[in-house]
Structure 1
């Protein structure tokens, strides 16, 4: 058996685990007392078998993905791999509110419809430095992973913070293998829209030695992954209610249209280094360093026309409507009967986000005897992110001719009728505006943990008692500006773009961008316009200086950002610096039990655990209170009451808030073995998730609204009058440092049947009671400045309401080994999830953005579902493993879901439509040291479709807003192990 064990070790499985996993198959192949036919399980089948064993042997409800081959998660990112798990869905947009830009690798993870998912690395905290608490799984190199575990109902020893669930990313350690491992993975990926090859690779070295001071192991794993992709988007603006176009009838007409092409570059780098030392059978020490970094850059060219709410059929034409009065096709002008479409929106945008997370940990284990075991763990984690987002806008010196829009087909068709000679002449364009956005975020945590366990003697009910304490201190600083749009040349008399090419020695400002192979030629090709170049917008330092000079010379308001995140005049009025400190102290106790019980007159094994976790949290939030100068106090000839002038005087000062709270979190997990391979599980627990740091941010920017009349005259437009008799109302948008955590009481009932090493049928019913949803509303608060106190109406998050999440999951997998010949290599994996919510609440992602709306549509009072919750989702994968060939064809589908209650720019709810994607892979094992493979993503060329509602009529369905196509991505892969 040593040869078989060694083969399994090459796949990353220790001999003990391998023998345990292979035992059923080996027993079935026994030919005599001393002759056993060797069974070697490798590749995809080994990964499925390993994941099934983890699920089968776990005391909690857990699903796993394992990578038995080095660098061989089944998908190209951790996020894409997670979508295959029952109950797990991923988003397709790079940001929840951004309905216009698609993330080709997926972004954001929901477990059972909830985005409150806690991310871990090796059972420890891990996070990305941003306003939230979550780990950006798309930033983590999948090549470093040994596996991913999704815990759906916790036990007391699992760290709190995941109401949706906990996702633990596991890396390898040198003692996982009995011998030296040298492994590599190389691939090159190609996007059929981007038309560029990009390389990725990883290398791992692991070994262990017997020395005079005990056994020592060392592992280092390095990865570098690059990706280039492209998305093309056609947009139709939300529809407006129109009563002036068709006599006696209400119709609905879009406000305009647009199209864009976005090129995306991503690079992920990772380091995993570990040293283990086992001086004797009682002690073991592990020192580990993990570092993941990601750089994401995108260049977008966009063009559109938005004539607004007064648009109508061009002169001599008419619109076509459906029976409900909804626009189908027609030639748009800026007014009914007009001859022009008005000005165009032409821009080039560059966004770059870099992120780094570094994790240092030391773990000590001490087992003095067979009864007691102890472990201590110290971890320090530091994360930072930086974003620069910059857009330059061109405008035409002249009006564009009407354009035809047709939405009757599968894709909107746009026909632009302008003269090419006019459109391609740089002299007809001027640099109209610019917009930028910046953030600088960092976070750190020091965590210390001590655990102990006592094993009971005998065959009684009690198996072991586990206990532990955990202490953390976390700091987070988030600095961000608003999206600062302002004019560069605000009038038609602005300078032509042509001379800008030589301004201050700058070359290459503009280009004629042709939108080549747009929608793979399946859509109407948009007209070529003169646009800012990518090289112009991706050099913020140099370009912002040039634009500032142009704006100053032409009466524009745009100025470069000076780096001061607390200067409201610099940050667009909504910028902020958010300082957060958080201390937690947790303790837990858990009893593991197990014994035979009589069920229907037969003995059945019952085991599980019962425990409680008690957590104290202390938070402190530091922000600013800014008293904006009353605009009417600085208006020419205007007077206001003296006290209001003293209160709204432009002052700012620090504001500190926070709260302490204790959560008691009991948990219970039980498993009844109907047969050795058929279980019933029941689980119950309480869980919490703390508010995001942005929601806790106490930045109050207080402004006066217009004065209102209380008697006499309140207007400086009347001769001899002043505003001295006005009363001013003050408003602010802010976070809330007094927020409580969201709490849930959750229950699971599961049936599991493991009828083969890679065959199972499982079903789970779940129910969650959720309290303290965080939503947004207004309340009156008292503020004092300069000796004057005023009541301020503050829009901020608050805890409100109770809701429920319920549903079920069904999963099945099997290889059909009973089939003859080559057919026995076929297998299937499939799962289906249904989730429903009631009484759930959505909170604004950013409490400082007063354009965001809450949970109810104002027109009909209809409660909206939770953002990101698809009622139905499923996965189906056809598998093949036989001999040297391993293949998979996997289809993932999720039903339409509410993307956001308030989409950016349009400020109305947006839905992501039904989406299904087919991916595939095939690998051939040349030898024990070389495997060759081919992987493909998005084989069906699925379009992402974003929907919005008709104004005031959500009950009559949704209309298309964005249609997006992304690359079909192909990869050639080489893997080897020595």
Structure 2
């Protein structure tokens, strides 16, 4: 099909990227012609702006002791991309995920266990994981980003995928007083709204006698918008009554129309009382609010054996997958959801550096991080009564749906309020860290150059409170089989509205022209939060007066204490035919964890068939383990411009706090609609596992990786590089969603065996592959073409790792790759820098990957993202020495993202997002 053809075409282009990079090794003269002169020429290339940033990034990579890739923002407040994650995707080996069209998650070489640091210190957000939420950080606060792929002993443990260090500006980075500000307007074309970003920086340094002082203040604020439209096809089931062909069990449409608000700031102070002593202190804060309203409508057929009345002509492809067909009287569900997430992270740090002057240096840091996240998620559902026909056509580029009679969904008489669902959560976390490092230089001329050692101690406290998903029926039978209630739309007209986002759905492509207009619970009501839930609950004439909802019923606290010590020897020898340098070291880290939570057991009172009993007991689990983490990094200088790196290390990633939570919910599956409620409780006859449970696993072991890298790097002129890196990671203790059995006492029923779903440590796995890339400017071309440049890189990643829990449509187990891992990915970036003009056109592509094996509505059916590419561009003009005007465009190709259910001809989602076009004016003095 067309999407597979696109993947093959893109893979051929990726091969070309690799060949181009290899040419840079084989024939450097073709790229470096006339690039060396004895004296400056009148037309010498002046390195400024974008080219200066790229040149600085290459220099950091060339001079680093480890394998590292960098992004540098020479111009204040201007990373190459407007989003931190989107900037990281340009680095070979880095793949990102997106949230409503914006970069949000980062994986390095296929692993999402990536450690995040701020200026070499720990930083995190309390959103279940351990790292920073990339959406939370304003890019304007950063001076650069370093990505370490194989660490040294002095670096903090915690990322088996890699380490990302976010660098902010400090006062002593500038030669003197600097004042800078920028304002940017961003238009979101699908949402048809314009947002803005503004930033300001003041930095100064001055002398007072022999003492030097520095001060910096940086502030950023942004308000953005988004729209995401999606067409969804429900799972396909094989049915005997359709000739064992595969029938889609329904379809629907959804639209998200929300906003993002970011506020970030930093305050930094540096003090140098003498040439050999320096103190620094800094506060950085980030406040992020993500508002994510959603509306939609679904019509459902039947699963593998449910009753189904077909209408229309059913046709199938050569594999027996439905192309056209429909159902009579399908159940429907309209919905309105209003999700809001507020996240705040503040980092306080202070430290010093002292150079004794005789080869002995000391440095130290104190740090305190405070983070909290709140989350609310109310949802209101509606449904239709009566009959209509629903037909699907999956033969075109986009599915089309038809409803007959065509006025059925436009008549509010056909709707009732169905149900409501609520979830809220509050997470808080804090960390205190102290670090002390010592370094001794050896005598000049020795192969051993220096020895560094240090200790680091941390305490981290995490508290989570979660309500879980609380479902309550408004119309129809509740879960416990009590009397049926109805609440029709027309009885309460003030609480429903036409779906406001159906106009211009999918840019008016006609995909759903006959699926509506339809009615939903009024989005303005859901925006009121819990108050809206109380209003909706009281529409049920049998519910009585509902005063409010209990916000939290699941509490979890975790205390983590770590103590790490390391020693690292640096060495080198320039007096041999092949000079070399490097480091070898050992880091030892002890981790103590205490997880406190609750075990909730729900069962039917043996003496009263109509009463549930809920028993809650406290849980406390302790862990204490020590890991030894050796590392080695060696660099061989094969020529002045050619170096070979060899690296090996062991690293660890601790399980996420969500996986470590000490909460369990156990239940007895007692009710079935066929049971007579007047008799003793009867376990569901359809349930093979009558007693079930779910929760976290505070006994999880950390993931441990043994990793190896070999990298060949050619630096044939300033700012130019060609490289190839081979890597392999042997990962131990992979964490998977698993199932195990254990015995619990149930009052009145004795000891029972429960089947519990929870994260568990699985088998070992291997990830291996290679990266190849290059960067250069073509100075040998005649003006104005000598301003042209190129960045290109390609990554291949192969994994043999434990498969996530996945099954096909009928429950047979499947083997699938790691979630989020694309085997092939590449970047191709065209550059131009000439005089006041700077431009960039950047294409990023990755091939198919498993998005999830636990999706909403698809269970453990694997959902794949098809190969996908994005094109972004920017152009800027330096108006004078102080003013710069730039234009940026994101998602220029407006590609539809396509996901599928195991096979490319069984679609799951078609998704489009905004194109973002922005104009920025930046002033620096």
Length-normalised TM-score, structure 2: 0.90
Q: 5 Å matches for 1:249-328?
A: 249-309=243-303, 310=306, 314-315=310-311, 317-328=312-323
1:915 is matched with 868
Partner of 1:539, secondary structure, is coil
Q: Deviations over 1:697-756 (max 9, x none)?
A: 222223335599xxxxxx9979999989x9996432232222111111000000000112
**Preserved contact between residue 329 and residue 386 of structure 2 (Cα < 8 Å):** no
Using a 3 Å threshold, how does the CA distance of structure 1 residues 405 and 511 change in structure 2: closer, same or farther? closer
The question of whether the paired residues in 2 share the 8 Å contact of 1:343 and 1:398 is answered with no
Q: Counterparts of 1:75-154 in structure 2 under 5 Å?
A: 75-92=81-98, 94=99, 103-154=100-151
Displacement of 1:826 after TM fit?
A: 0.6
- Cα 1:239–1:780 change in 2 (3 A) is closer
CA contact (8 A) 2:595 2:620 kept: yes
The equivalent of 2:847 in structure 1 is 895
Paired positions, count: 878
Show the counterpart of 1:12.
Answer: none
Distance between the aligned counterparts of 1:135 and 1:669, measured in 2? 27
Structure 2 residue runs of 5 or longer lacking an equivalent are: 1-31, 478-483
Q: Which position in structure 2 is the counterpart of 1:201?
A: 198
Using the TM superposition, give the Cα deviation of residue 622 of structure 1 relative to its aligned residue in structure 2, in angstroms.
Answer: 0.3
User: In the alignment, what sits opposite 2:10?
Assistant: none
Maintained 8 Å contact 1:856/1:864: no
Listed one character per residue, the Cα deviations across residues 113-146 of structure 1 (whole Å, up to 9, x for unaligned) are: 1111111111111111122112111111101010
Whether the 8 Å contact between 1:857 and 1:863 is mirrored in structure 2 is no
The alignment status of 1:410 with 2:397, answered yes or no, reads yes
Q: Secondary structure at the match of 1:244?
A: helix
Q: CA deviation at 1:590?
A: 0.4
Name the counterpart of 1:494: 486
More displaced 10-residue stretch of structure 1: 197-206 or 491-500: 491-500
CA displacement at 1:31 relative to structure 2: 3.2
Determine whether 1:656 maps to 2:620.
Answer: yes
Shift of 1:677: 1.5
> 1:274-320: per-residue Cα shift (whole Å, max 9, x none)?
011111112111110000111111121201101223475645x3201
State the Cα distance separating 1:858 from its structure 2 match: 8.4
Output one character per residue of 1:510-554: Cα deviation in whole Å (capped at 9) or x when no partner.
235361111112233242112223211110132122112212x24
Contact 1:322 1:328 in 2 (8 A): yes
Q: Which deviations, in whole Å up to 9, do the C-alpha atoms of 1:789-821 show, x marking residues without a partner?
A: 655443333223111000000011110000001
Where does residue 668 of structure 1 map in the other structure?
A: 632
- 1:31 to 2:39 alignment: yes
Q: What whole-Å deviation, never above 9, does each CA across 1:915-937 have from its counterpart, x for those lacking one?
A: 10111000011111111111001
- The alpha carbon displacement at 1:626 in A equals 2.1
Q: 1:226-241 maps to which residues of 2 (within 5 A)?
A: 226-241=223-238
The answer to whether the 8 A contact 1:120-1:167 is kept is yes
Partner of 1:644: none
- Contact 2:35–2:780 (CA under 8 A) maintained in structure 1: no
Contact 2:806 2:815 in 1 (8 A): no
Which residue matches 1:607?
Answer: 581
When residues 629 and 741 of structure 1 are mapped into structure 2, their CA distance, relative to the original with a 3 A threshold, is same
1:695 aligned residue? 659
Q: What aligned pairs does 1:328-367 form with structure 2 within 5 A after superposition?
A: 328-330=323-325, 332-333=326-327, 340-367=328-355
Secondary structure of 2:538 counterpart: helix
CA RMSD of aligned residues (A): 2.9
| Structure 1 residues 705 and 391: alpha-carbon distance in aligned structure 2, compared to 1, 3 A threshold | closer
Q: Report the Cα offset of residue 870 of structure 1.
A: 0.5
Q: Which has the higher contact order (CA 8 A, sep 6+)?
A: 2
Q: 1:485 to 1:958 in 2, by over 3 A?
A: farther
User: 1:509 and 1:258, CA in 2 relative to 1: closer, same or farther beyond 3 A?
Assistant: closer
Q: Taking structure 1 as reference, are residues 456 and 926 closer, same or farther at Cα in structure 2, changes over 3 Å only?
A: same
Cα contact 2:609–2:677 (8 A) shared by 1: no
Aligned to 1:929: 882
1:179 aligns with 2:187: no
Contact 1:489–1:555 (CA under 8 A) maintained in structure 2: no
- 1:365 shift after superposition: 1.2
User: Is there any run of 5+ residues in structure 1 with no aligned partner, and where?
Assistant: 1-23, 95-102, 334-339, 503-507, 567-575, 639-647, 709-714, 843-852, 950-955
CA drift at 1:825: 0.6
Contact 1:130 1:478 in 2 (8 A): no
1:939 counterpart residue number: 892
Matched with 1:189 is 186
Q: Does the 8 Å CA contact 1:376/1:449 hold for their aligned counterparts? A: yes
Aligned equivalents of 1:124 and 1:180: distance in 2? 27
After superposition, the Cα gap between the structure-2 partners of 1:718 and 1:189, relative to the gap in structure 1 and judged at 3 Å, is: closer
Distance verdict in 2 for CA 1:186–1:545, change over 3 Å = same
Q: Which runs of 4+ in 1 moved over 6 A?
A: 24-27, 35-39, 556-559, 715-724, 726-729, 785-788, 855-858
Structure 2: distance between partners of 1:132 and 1:688: 15
- The correspondence for 1:520, drawn from 507, 510, 513, is 507
After TM superposition, give the deviation of residue 902 of structure 1 in Å: 1.5
Question: Equivalent residue of 1:542, what SS?
Answer: helix
Change (3 A) 1:47 1:858: farther
Q: Tell me how far apart the structure 2 counterparts of residues 300 and 941 of structure 1 sit (CA, whole Å).
A: 21
